[in-house]
C-alpha cells in the first residue's frame, strides 16, 4: 500500500473527525484537513471550468452544423456553409492549442516539490472520481428516471437541451 494508502487513510480520518493536527510529509508541515479542502476546491474549480469549456465547444460546433443544415435547406451558399463549419473547427482547435500552451507554460514554473504535490492532487482527484463520483452518477442515472418524468422536469429538460445543456452535466 505504501505512501498512498497511509496518506489517504490519514486524510480520511482527519477529514471525518475534524482533527487539525499537523502532519509532516516530505513537502513540509501541513494540516491534513486543510489539504483535503484545498483539493476539493481545486477539483470543483477545474470541474466547473471543464463544463464551461465543453459548453463553449458544443455551441461552437452547433454553430458550424447549423450552417450545414441551412445549406441543405438552400438558405445559404456552399462556400459560406463550409467556411462557417471550418471556422467552428478552427475555433475549437485554437481553444485546445491555447489550453495545451497554458498547461505547459504553467507546468514549467513548477519545481520538484510542486510537481510532486500536483501529481498527488491529481491522483487523489482520480481516486475520488472513480470510487465516489462515477458510482453515484451511475446509480443516479439508473435508479432515478422516474424523478425526471414529470411535466415540469420534461419542460426544464427541453429548455436546457435547446440551450445546449445536457442533464448529465449536473450529475
CA-CA-CA-CA dihedral for 111, 113, 117, 123, to nearest 10: 90
In terms of pTM, does the model score above 0.85? no
pLDDT at 54: 87
Structural domain boundaries enclosing 41: 2-164
Contact between residue 64 and residue 88 where contact means Cβ atoms under 8 Å apart: yes
Cα–Cα dist 158/170, whole Å: 15
Q: Is residue 102 part of a domain?
A: yes
Does residue 158 form part of some domain? Answer: yes
- Domain contains 124: yes
What is the three-class DSSP state of 122?
helix
Q: Is residue 18 in some structural domain?
A: yes
| Residue 171 belongs to some domain of the structure | no
Whether 170 maps to a domain, the answer reads no
pLDDT for the residue numbered 136:
84
- In a domain, residue 126? The reply is yes
Give the three cell numbers for residue 19: 482533527
Q: Tell me 21's DSSP state.
A: -
Instruction: Give me the residues of the chain with pLDDT under 50, please.
Output: 1-6, 8, 11-25
Other CB atoms within 10 A of residue 33 CB: 19
How many structural domains are present in the chain?
1
Residue 169 is assigned to a structural domain of this protein: no
Amino acid at each position: 500500500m505504501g505512501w498512498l494508502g497511509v496518506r489517504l487513510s490519514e486524510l480520511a480520518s482527519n477529514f471525518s473527525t475534524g482533527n487539525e493536527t499537523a502532519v509532516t510529509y516530505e513537502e513540509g508541515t501541513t494540516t491534513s484537513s486543510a489539504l483535503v479542502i484545498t483539493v476539493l476546491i481545486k477539483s470543483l474549480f477545474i470541474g466547473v471550468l471543464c463544463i464551461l469549456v465543453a459548453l463553449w465547444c458544443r455551441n461552437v460546433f452547433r454553430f458550424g452544423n447549423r450552417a450545414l443544415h441551412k445549406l441543405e435547406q438552400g438558405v445559404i451558399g456552399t462556400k459560406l456553409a463550409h467556411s462557417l463549419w471550418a471556422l467552428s473547427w478552427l475555433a475549437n482547435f485554437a481553444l485546445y492549442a491555447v489550453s495545451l500552451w497554458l498547461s505547459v507554460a504553467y507546468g514549467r514554473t513548477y519545481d520538484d516539490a510542486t510537481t510532486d504535490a500536483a501529481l498527488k492532487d491529481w491522483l487523489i482527484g482520480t481516486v475520488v472520481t472513480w470510487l465516489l463520483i462515477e458510482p453515484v452518477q451511475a446509480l443516479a442515472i439508473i435508479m432515478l428516471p422516474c424523478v425526471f418524468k414529470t411535466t415540469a422536469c420534461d419542460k426544464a429538460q427541453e429548455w436546457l437541451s435547446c440551450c445546449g445543456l445536457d442533464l448529465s452535466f449536473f450529475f
